[in-house]
Amino acid sequence: VSNAGVGMAGPLECQSLEAMQSLMDTNFFGLVRLVKEVLPDMKRRRGGHIIVISSVMGLQGIVFNDIYSASKFAVEGFCESLVVQALRFNVAISLVEPGPVITEFETKLYEEAERANYSLTDPETAEIFTKVYLRNSKDVFSSLGQTPEDIAEHTLRVIEAERPPFRHQTNVAYTPMAALKHADPSGALMTDTFYKLVFNYGAVLRFSL
């Protein structure tokens, strides 16, 4: 089970390339190193199961989570490419894709975001992040957030499944979000919907949450 991960949220201009590379080294290359270690023996035994804790942000990018989403997209693409070869050796790969999970991980992320220096970006972007994104994000977590125990139960179900699924989303509230991309391959529907939710209907979003 690959579960190592770090987060990053905020305006792109305020994040250093070193921090981005460090995040990718944990979230993506950490997984790659683990799989390189365990896969050869699983192939020799012609059996095994690799479970990867991914994220719904590996299916749908979220505003101000550019680098974190990129790392999870990389995880999803890596596993999607590898799964067909792995099945030839009777090795299953499963992506567990949680939505928001209420842990110290997120608390720390918010604390860092609230005291960060936003002088490297323009005032409008800084205000959108601190006044719109952080507020909406906290509402999402308080309304839709899952506990670590809930994610553990979902992961156990994937482990014990007779035919392990390749993808398993833990929060049905996020299914429509991911479905928007498949409903319109051009991306216009997804982009327009999220733009309106963030900038036009923020009060409705918070009320519905």
Torsion, Cα 153 168 191 18, to 10 degrees, reads 70
> CA angle, corner 135, sides to 122 and 174, nearest 5?
110
- 2 strand-pairing partners: 52
Q: Which of 127, 145, 152, 148 is nearest to 202 (CA)?
A: 127
Query: Can you tell me the distance from the alpha carbon of 72 to that of 197, in angstroms, rounded to the nearest whole number?
Result: 23
**Residues involved in catalysis:** 68
- How far is it between the farthest Cα atoms of the chain? 57
97 φ, ψ (degrees, to nearest 5) = -120, 85
Structure tokens at 181: 């991309």
> For residue 92, which amino acid is it?
A
